[in-house]
Every structure is written in C-alpha cells, then in structure tokens.
Structure 1
Amino acid sequence: MLLAKTAMVRQTYFFADFNCKVYALNANSGDLLWSKSVRTEAPNSVTGTVAYADGIVYVPLSSMEVSMGSQESYECCKGSGMVVAVNAEIGNEVWRHRVVQEEATAQTKSSTGVTKYGPSGAPVWSSPTVDEKRGLLYIGTGENNSYPTTNSSDALQALNLKTGELVWTYQATSGDAYVTGTFNEDGTKMEPCEHCPDPTGPDVDFGMAPVLTTNQDGKDVLIVGQKSGVAYSLDPDTGQLIWKKRLGRGGALGGIHWGIATDGKVAYVPISDWFAFGGDSEYPASPGLYALDVMSGEVLWKSVPDFSLCEGMPGCFTANSAAPTLIDGVVFAGNLDGHIRAHDVATGNVIWDYNTVQDYETVNGVKAHGGALDGPGPVIANGMVFINSGYGKFSQMGGNVLLAFEAK
C-alpha cells in the first residue's frame, strides 16, 4: 500500500489487489474514493506495490502464465507483463506499456495436439521506481514463457513517466523461456515435459525494484540484482552498464530475490542459492549477505550464518532471500533459517541475532508460530523494528506472526 498526497491536497492510500483492481482510499476516513480494474489479459496479476508521482499511479502487472503453462492442456502462452499508468484522482488509464511488444501467434503443436503460442511473458513482478528528475520510470522484467524469446525479458527498462514510451532497455540474460514444472526436485530437467519450452531457460528474473542512488562521485546510478546471482550498476540516463558482479550460482530459487539496500556508498546484497536449480553450474552456491562498493562493485565483506542451525529442521535453509533494511550503522537481514540478524555495516559482524522460529502469545489471541524470513525487509520506525515471520511457499518454514522489537 502506498500513501501519497494528491493534487487536491488529500492524503490518499493507493494499492492494487492480485486480480488487478486498483483502489484509492481517503487516508483519514478509509472511504473508497475510486476503484478500477486494469486487467486486459486474463493471466495478468499484481504482485508488486504501486508507485506514485505527480498525479499518476503506476501499476506493475505480472503474469500467471509462468504457472498456467505447466498444464499440458493449456495453450501456452499469449500474455505479457505490463505497466499501467492511471490518473490518481479518478483512476482513468493514462497509458499502458506492454513489455512484450509483439502479439503472440501460433508456433507449434504438442504431441497431444495442443497449440503452443509465443512470444510471451516478461512479467513485472515488483514495484516500478520513479525518477522525477529525469522523468523516467524504471522496471525489472522476468523470463519469457514460450518461444520465440524477446529482448525485453530478464531486462531493465526505462519508460517516460508521462507517456509510457520506452526510452531504453538493458537485457541481462537472453533466451530465458521458462514455466514452472520444468525441473524435478533434485534440479534435473523433467522428462518428458510436453509443456516446457525446449530448451528451457534458467528462470533468472529481475524480481526486485531497481534502486536509484547517488554514488560518492555525486553521480546517480541504478543498482539492481538478478536471480542469476549477479548485481549490476547502470547509468540511469542511457541504461549503459557501469559494472556487474557475480556473487552466486543463481537459478530459479537462487541469486537475488526481493531487494538490495544501499546508502550510495555500499550496497548490501542478499544471495539465496538454497536450491539453485537452473543456475550456472560453473559457480558454487554461495548464500549469504554481501557488501559491495557502489563505485566498483567489489566485495567488501560477506556474512554467512552457521549451516548447522538447520540440521534436523524440515523446511529450514541457510539462505538470504528477503530484502535487507539499512539504518545508520546497521543492516538488518532476515534468513530462511528463521533468524533476523543485525550486521555491523563496516565489518558484517553480527551484533544482534534473534531466532523467530518459536511459538508466541499474541496481542490478539491468535495462535502463532514463526518460520522462514522471506519477502520484504524489516520496517524500522520510531525506535521500533517490525518483522513478519513465516513463509511457507517453496517448501520453506511457514508461520503467521508479526513481531515488534524495541531498540535499546
């Protein structure tokens, strides 16, 4: 949910649900001001937070064809990721950017006679990043879901804030066509696999929102991480690569997932790699929290928890998948082992560690238990640290608790 002050000087909450309906609420009363559906293709969904700038709400659209394509009877795939800009006062559409510009056409038939379509995919999983100085909106895109692949998948794109016109594209990985069900649990390719793109891609989305920051030279740069296990720095004006740094093997559940924290000097990058199927086998799985010099991309330090903490615990993995949160002198990083750790920004040393995997008595009387820390990073405000614990997807440890810590 996003809180913004609109042109009518009214505090307004903007948010979208999974079914692509966008809402505006009066922040003081909770009254509904408007709601509009922005779905134009059946597989579209919203998985990222909306963004706001100068009277426009920007809505990222992902696509569920990545999982629908695993159904052998499904004519995969025709959809595309999108960004939709709507007027903040009334919800009317201003512009729409379809990441896959080409319309899907029939390509082949499966052995059971199901028509396969393409190109498709390139969902926008996360929130767009607004750059009002340049009048640009930055997005990260995901994999294609069928062949032929496009130059807009596994890419970073810059759009004109007012018109949605594509300004530049930087594609990090080409030829990545993927749907779920492509790999077995041991990481090998499923055989036979009628519904899978052939050859199948590694599934190395940009799943996080690009981070716009100013480096020590006073230059603006974009810092972003990919599920390939590679972190990038790009010129926001042109999309030209400044540096890239491989940190892990990457893959469908490897690499960088939810976000990076930075102060413009150092970027704090989490690497998952707990089950790095589809990743680059030339590189070892390297989970942990990394500190990178924003100017050069060089690794300043790496922190890896004790792998023995997960011994005998089903669904416990030692991996940093959740986005970190940075405050003065401390970076907080949640782990799939259920621990939240506060690291010294200069050394990476752990200065505070709390195991959330336990039962809790809650303020509302609901039975609660902690689990894997995944997804968004901790929220820190007014001397408090707020953490949600439990993430049962992908065979991880489930849970259902929101924890609040007081800074001492």
Structure 2
Amino acid sequence: MRSLAITLLVSTPLLAVAQAPPPSPAELRVEQNLCAASAPLSDSSPQRWNGWGPTVTNTRFQPAEAGGLTVADVPRLRLKWAYGLPREQQPRGQPAVIGGRMFVGSQAGAVYALDAKTGCTIWQFFPRAGLRSATSVGPHRFADGRNGYAVYFVDAQGHAYAVDADSGEQIWMTRVEDHPMVRGTGAVTLYDGTVFVPMTGISEAMGGANPEYECCTFRGSMTALDAATGAVKWKTYTIPESKRRGTSSAGKPLYGPAGVGIWNAPTVDAARGVIYSGTGPAYAGDDPPTTDAVIAFDMKTGEIVWTNQFTKDTWLMGCDGNAATNPNCPKSNGPDLDFSASPILTKSSAGRDVIVIPQKSGMVYALDPAERGKTLWSYRAGPGSPVGGVWGSAVEGDRMYVAVGGYRNEETGGIHAIDIDTGERIWYTPPQPLLCSPPGPACSQTQAAAVTAIPGAVFSGSADGGLRAYDARDGKIIWTFDANREFETINGVPARGASFSGPGPVVVGGMMYVLSGDAGFVGRPGNVLLAFAPE
C-alpha cells in the first residue's frame, strides 16, 4: 500500500520538485579553502551554541559570556566572510558552534565542519538525505577507548546519526522512522546520554491533492536513542495506530488517525524529568486530542505525562475548496495551526517555572509546568496564517520576544516584547519597508525566522531579505543587513542571499552566524552562510 502511495504522489505537481534526484556527494563536496590542520575538539570554553537553543531549555538567549557580543557592538557588525552551500536552495541546518568549530547541515544533503573564525572547511559528511534542522554536539567514548566528541543530527528521511566531531566519520546511524512520507524537521536534543528525536510527516499531508492516495497512515512521534550506540530506548507516538476506516468514493482504502507530527526541537525540564514539544494537525481521523498541542513526555519511559491542546485540527494540503471532489479531504479542513516553534522553559520574576510558546495562529501562550501545562495567559501577536508560521521566539529575563510570521494576510511582520508574568505588551515594532521587490508572496514582510536575543538586543530575519537588530529596551532598530545579493565566498561556491525563515542567528565567541535563502513555501531561495563580527 505504501509503495503504491509513493508512485501516485510523485505524479502530483506538489511533489514533483521534492522527488527530483538528490545531488550526489561529488556535487556537494567543497574543494577550496580546506583547513590545513585542526586540533582535536575541546569543550573547555563557555563560548558555544549547541543545538537549537542554544541550551536544552530553548530560550534562544545567548548570555554575554558565551556570545561575546554586547549591544554596543551590534551597530558595528560587518560581514566577515560568506560560505556557499553547494546545490542548496533552502538552507535550514542552523549551525552549532562549540570549541571554535562549527557544524552546519544543508538540505541538499551534506554536513560541513568549519573553523568558526575563518570559515575554512575541516571535513564533510554526506548523510542519506538532507538536513532541515540543527545539530548537537556531546562527549563520546569511542570503540578504541579514546574520549572525544560526536555530532548528532537527524536527516529529512528519518535517519539519526552520530558522527566523529574530529574526523567526520560515522559512528552510528539509526532509522528512527521508516514511513515513506516521513520528514525530519525538528532538531534533535541531546541530554544526559540520550538523543531525543522528533518526527513529522508533512509529505503525507500533500496526499490531499491526490484522490488516488490511500490516506493516511503516518504518525508523529518522539524517540529516545542511546547517544553511545544509537539503540532505541523508547518511541512514543502522538496518536494511536492507524486503522482501516472505510473506503473512499474512488474505491481506495481510507486509514486513520494520522498526522500530529512534531516539528520542533524538544525542550528539557530536568527538574520534572520530562521533555516538551509542540504538535501539528492530524491528516485523517476524528480530531485527536493531541493536535496543535504542547505535550510533556517522561524522559525515561516516553509516557505522555500531560497534554494541553489549543486547536482541534485535521488538515490536508490541496483540500481547500476541493473537498467535494476529493474523498481524502476531511469534512472541515484545517485550520492548520501547528506549533512549529519549540516550547521555551523559563522563569517568572517570582522564580516559578513557566513554559512560553508561539503558535501559527498568531497566538502566544504561557503554561504552568507544575500544573500539568495549565494555561496562564494568552496574547495575540498577529492574525495568524496557515502558511508560514513562527519558527522560534526568544526569552531574556522576564521578557519574551515574538516575531510575526504568516504569508496570507496583510498584517504580517513586526516583533513584540511581552511580559512573561502578565502576558502584556511591553513594546511592538511594526514591519519595515521592503528591501526586496516587487511586493508579493515571494517578497514579504513576514518574520517567520527564529528570533535570537543577547543582553540588550534582539535579532530577527525577514522574508524580505533583511536581518535586523532591535534595542531590547524599546524595540528601536539599531542595525540592518540586506542579504539580497550575490556573495563572494571563501570556499569558491557561488552563493546568493535572499529570504530569512526557519533557522535564526547564532551568536557565539564575538561573532554572529546566519543562513540566508530559506524560501519556505513561497519565499525566495538562496544558499549562503553569513558570518559577522564587529569592525
């Protein structure tokens, strides 16, 4: 049944691009500006950004000791070097930087280890599929008895990896999910010898465009792997097993429930022994109670401890206005309001733990982890949109910084500062004049890219190709960089900047790194990694 589904889906316009042959390792290999030598990786310095976060609480706040940048430095930021990602069109593999070394993945199908200061290439690794997420780095004891470090990540087809951080040699690989419509989108989280791997299946949601598809069987999941061996410790699905639920008017079997994928990197709550993640819509079945929800998983067993659902949501792409002729379509399609951003675990001014998270609906929520995720407050940051979403917010102290994503509305863009205690607005800066042209879906003010904060400043990228820094006190713009151009690269690969979406800036060791060209569904593609430092 599943192999037939793939054959049918390949013929649809929605998947024609996705099914094109991937680039070969030879096409992805960088040949220029290779590092002459590299010392073994050391984790002795506090200057690091490890994983999505840069820590496992996913605040996306980088303190001064690790970031090495002050708000006074921000207006003096200048491009230091640019690195072209071969054959890339949507760079989403947010860099990790640790011990002076950077690890960055490409959706085209490669992982590159670079010298974080100079950008020379140390090694290159070619997984079975491309990366849509960040990597994490941690200590590893090798089979020969030596101690070193491994780089952990998941590719888009559901393979998780550990790779030697010094040589780029594969240590292990585990197939976390074998459904043909799997899509590894959220970054792994490494904690206490365990690699937590979220999984979604957006490819199956595209089956809504094809009435011949036997819809639907993919289930979102969270898997815990032993960091040393890659062995599965546990795997928990977000919904029950899919079962036959009838036959469509086209004579095809129908299955469900399906969907409820996890798009984001899990967040660790060490005190409670749980991890948190947000989910997306179902693809089939009767609105499971886990759609568009924040879920707490027991770190040791994978048991679902609690769920807070914000939207009942069953959605298939291609079903809007098409339900009468497509038997796969749900009775009411959507509203398609995933949580694409990771939950943030932080503290109130009184020292109480709080979870904050933005939703694609344009809403922002605060939850009480001590009360099974009880909602504390809600805040509307924007009108919301089924296209775009918000990939990440940032928290510094008692403030949360939320950019406004979404393409199908006229109120997209801008950034809010919200009081974590009360859910009230502190300041709001509206979207800025477009840096691209002509205006339209591909040239938009939407700010769906993940936000990053340092003491006194907040960074947010826009689909218009602008990366902007805001004063954390009042939201005034203190720095702007226009990425809409071609770049001369240090590795000789032709590169162009364009939209910012998905991954956000990484600040570490007195430098800032950011990928430009994540077009999302409707933006403008590019393929460049940019490195900035104060002049």
Q: What TM-score comes out, normalization by structure 2 length?
A: 0.70
When residues 189 and 290 of structure 1 are mapped into structure 2, their CA distance, relative to the original with a 3 A threshold, is farther
- The aligned residue for residue 22 of structure 1 is 160
Give the superposition deviation at 1:274.
2.3
Give the superposition deviation at 1:86.
1.2
Moved over 6 A (4+): 188-191
Supply the RMSD in Å over aligned alpha carbons. Answer: 1.9
Task: Measure the CA separation in 1 of the matches of 2:477 and 2:444.
Answer: 19
When residues 73 and 349 of structure 1 are mapped into structure 2, their CA distance, relative to the original with a 3 A threshold, is same
**Structure 1 portions without partners, runs of 5+:** 277-283
Choose which of 275, 281, 285 in structure 1 pairs with 2:408: 275
Conserved? CA contact 1:14–1:22, under 8 Å: yes
Task: Measure the CA separation in 2 of the matches of 1:359 and 1:179.
Answer: 37
Task: Measure the CA separation in 2 of the matches of 1:243 and 1:80.
Answer: 30
Task: Measure the CA separation in 1 of the matches of 2:323 and 2:217.
Answer: 23
Choose which of 114, 129, 137 in structure 2 pairs with 1:3: 137
Choose which of 130, 136, 140 in structure 1 pairs with 2:268: 130
- The aligned residue for residue 160 of structure 1 is 298
- The aligned residue for residue 423 of structure 2 is 297
Give the superposition deviation at 1:108.
4.0
Task: Measure the CA separation in 1 of the matches of 2:141 and 2:301.
Answer: 19
Question: Which segment drifts farther, 72-81 or 322-331?
Answer: 72-81
Give the superposition deviation at 1:195.
3.2
Choose which of 229, 254, 261 in structure 1 pairs with 2:362: 229
Supply the AA of the counterpart residue of 2:479: W
Conserved? CA contact 1:136–1:161, under 8 Å: yes
- The aligned residue for residue 211 of structure 1 is 344
- The aligned residue for residue 331 of structure 1 is 458
Give the superposition deviation at 1:41.
3.2
- The aligned residue for residue 252 of structure 2 is 114
Task: Measure the CA separation in 2 of the matches of 1:398 and 1:25.
Answer: 29
- The aligned residue for residue 285 of structure 1 is 411
The reply to whether residue 170 of structure 1 matches residue 308 of structure 2 is yes
When residues 365 and 266 of structure 1 are mapped into structure 2, their CA distance, relative to the original with a 3 A threshold, is same
Question: Which segment drifts farther, 201-210 or 29-38?
Answer: 29-38
SS in structure 2 of the partner of residue 68 of structure 1: helix
- Please list, as runs of the form range in 1=range in 2, the aligned pairs for 1:4-403 lying within 5 A after superposition: 4-6=138-140, 10-63=148-201, 64-100=203-239, 102-174=240-312, 176-183=313-320, 192-237=325-370, 238-254=372-388, 256-276=389-409, 285-307=411-433, 309-313=435-439, 315-403=442-530
Give the superposition deviation at 1:307.
4.2
Task: Measure the CA separation in 2 of the matches of 1:398 and 1:225.
Answer: 25
- The aligned residue for residue 280 of structure 1 is none
**Structure 2 portions without partners, runs of 5+:** 1-134
Question: Which segment drifts farther, 23-32 or 128-137?
Answer: 23-32
Aligned length: 394
Conserved? CA contact 1:69–1:77, under 8 Å: no
Tell me the alpha carbon deviations over residues 346-393 of structure 1, each in whole angstroms, 9 at most, x when there is no partner.
Answer: 111100111110122211222222110111111111221112111233
Question: Which segment drifts farther, 116-125 or 299-308?
Answer: 299-308
Supply the AA of the counterpart residue of 1:263: E
Task: Measure the CA separation in 1 of the matches of 2:262 and 2:402.
Answer: 21
Conserved? CA contact 2:412–2:431, under 8 Å: no
Tell me the alpha carbon deviations over residues 319-342 of structure 1, each in whole angstroms, 9 at most, x when there is no partner.
Answer: 110011100111010001100000
Task: Measure the CA separation in 2 of the matches of 1:297 and 1:27.
Answer: 42
* Percent of pairs with identical residues: 37
- The aligned residue for residue 281 of structure 1 is none
Supply the AA of the counterpart residue of 1:66: A
Conserved? CA contact 2:296–2:305, under 8 Å: yes
Supply the AA of the counterpart residue of 1:368: A
Task: Measure the CA separation in 1 of the matches of 2:518 and 2:294.
Answer: 27
Conserved? CA contact 1:178–1:197, under 8 Å: yes
Conserved? CA contact 1:12–1:25, under 8 Å: yes
Tell me the alpha carbon deviations over residues 210-258 of structure 1, each in whole angstroms, 9 at most, x when there is no partner.
Answer: 111112111111111111111011112311111111221212125x420
Task: Measure the CA separation in 1 of the matches of 2:352 and 2:439.
Answer: 46
Task: Measure the CA separation in 1 of the matches of 2:189 and 2:181.
Answer: 22
Conserved? CA contact 1:50–1:128, under 8 Å: yes
Task: Measure the CA separation in 1 of the matches of 2:407 and 2:430.
Answer: 12
Conserved? CA contact 1:7–1:55, under 8 Å: no
Task: Measure the CA separation in 1 of the matches of 2:309 and 2:243.
Answer: 23
Conserved? CA contact 2:435–2:466, under 8 Å: no
Supply the AA of the counterpart residue of 2:386: A
Conserved? CA contact 1:65–1:79, under 8 Å: yes
Task: Measure the CA separation in 2 of the matches of 1:125 and 1:156.
Answer: 12
Give the superposition deviation at 1:99.
0.3
Task: Measure the CA separation in 2 of the matches of 1:57 and 1:308.
Answer: 41
Supply the AA of the counterpart residue of 1:379: V
Give the superposition deviation at 1:193.
3.9
- The aligned residue for residue 34 of structure 2 is none
Conserved? CA contact 1:245–1:297, under 8 Å: yes
Tell me the alpha carbon deviations over residues 146-172 of structure 1, each in whole angstroms, 9 at most, x when there is no partner.
Answer: 121100111000011000111100001
Task: Measure the CA separation in 1 of the matches of 2:380 and 2:503.
Answer: 23
Supply the AA of the counterpart residue of 1:81: G
Supply the AA of the counterpart residue of 1:94: K
SS in structure 2 of the partner of residue 66 of structure 1: helix
Supply the AA of the counterpart residue of 2:353: D
Conserved? CA contact 1:69–1:75, under 8 Å: no
Task: Measure the CA separation in 2 of the matches of 1:325 and 1:395.
Answer: 23
Give the superposition deviation at 1:311.
4.9
Question: Which segment drifts farther, 104-113 or 317-326?
Answer: 104-113
Conserved? CA contact 2:208–2:319, under 8 Å: no
Supply the AA of the counterpart residue of 1:178: W
SS in structure 2 of the partner of residue 67 of structure 1: helix
Task: Measure the CA separation in 2 of the matches of 1:399 and 1:137.
Answer: 34
Supply the AA of the counterpart residue of 2:307: T
Tell me the alpha carbon deviations over residues 118-140 of structure 1, each in whole angstroms, 9 at most, x when there is no partner.
Answer: 21110011111111121101111
Conserved? CA contact 1:120–1:149, under 8 Å: no
